[in-house]
């Protein structure tokens, strides 16, 4: 009888402990800085917190996340949505850079919130490495046209690890321009460097590589 009673008490304690959990919002996938916090990017997680102060750091799932928020840092898949990870759109410290990309040069599942690398090539200079302005090489010297003097040689992507903040449906953009439009969030310094490099290319071609 004592054994049975002890089991009942233990079970009751476990149920009581389970009642201490609460539901909070978490991200459904990897999202980078500048991504709008949208309902379809959120899922509910049940968590037990050590104290009330810790609870206040996150968004409880018993009510919607406030509108008009963006991520101010990267958040991983399944990570709880911390209040410190978001900020108002008005405080967005990035520029939105539009890209017109050949649909065959962007993975089909790239969408809002995807983290990507942006590579540049010059169609007028087939031997030019991705991300390198025409007329530049390892020595950084310019070609006869002089157009390469505006950009240094690039050994990697023109933009690395940037967040897609808008990705209109393929059909919507292609019907008008024949390209797919993506908008990426970039800080001022990288945006200026990207525009400088893009302007140095005679016939720029953009290629998108998605980070998984």
List, run by run, the mean pLDDT of 10-residue segments along the chain (212 residues).
Answer: 44 49 89 83 89 87 89 86 85 78 90 89 68 43 36 70 81 64 88 92 93 74
Q: What pLDDT, on the 0 to 100 scale, is given for residue 175?
A: 53
For residue 17, CA distances in Å to 3, 47, 49, 55 come to 21, 11, 11, 16
Task: Mention the CATH class of domain 2-91.
Answer: alpha beta
> Which pLDDT score is estimated for 61?
92
pLDDT for 144 = 34
Q: What was the pLDDT predicted at 157? A: 92
> Distance between CA 99 and CA 183 in Å, rounded?
6
User: What pLDDT score does 106 carry?
Assistant: 93
Of all helices (H) and strands (E), which one includes residue 91?
Answer: none
The reported pLDDT for the residue numbered 4 is 41
Distance of alpha carbon 132 from alpha carbon 204, whole angstroms: 10
Query: Among candidates 94, 93, 98, which has minimal Cα distance to 195?
Result: 98
Nearest-angstrom CA–CA distance, 182 and 197 = 18
Where exactly does CATH 3.90.1210.10 map onto the chain?
2-91
Tell whether pTM > 0.75: no
């Amino acid at each position: 009888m004592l054994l049975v009673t002890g089991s009942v008490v233990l079970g009751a304690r476990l149920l009581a402990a389970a009642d201490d959990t609460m539901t909070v919002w978490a991200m459904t996938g990897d999202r980078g800085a500048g991504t709008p916090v949208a309902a379809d990017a959120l899922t509910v997680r049940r968590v037990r917190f050590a104290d009330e102060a810790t609870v206040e750091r996150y968004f409880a799932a018993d009510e919607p996340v406030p509108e008009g928020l963006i991520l101010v840092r990267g958040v991983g898949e399944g990570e709880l949505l911390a209040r410190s990870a978001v900020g108002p759109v008005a405080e967005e410290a990035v520029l939105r850079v539009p890209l017109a990309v050949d649909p065959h040069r962007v993975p089909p599942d790239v969408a809002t919130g995807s983290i990507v690398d942006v590579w540049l090539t010059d169609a007028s200079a087939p031997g030019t490495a991705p991300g390198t302005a025409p007329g530049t090489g390892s020595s950084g010297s310019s070609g006869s046209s002089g157009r390469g003097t505006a950009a240094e040689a690039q050994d990697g992507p023109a933009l690395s690890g940037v967040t897609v903040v808008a990705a209109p449906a393929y059909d919507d953009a292609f019907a008008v321009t024949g390209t797919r439009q993506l908008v990426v969030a970039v800080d001022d310094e990288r945006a200026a460097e990207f525009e400088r490099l893009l302007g140095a290319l005679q016939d720029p071609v953009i290629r998108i590589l998605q980070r998984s």
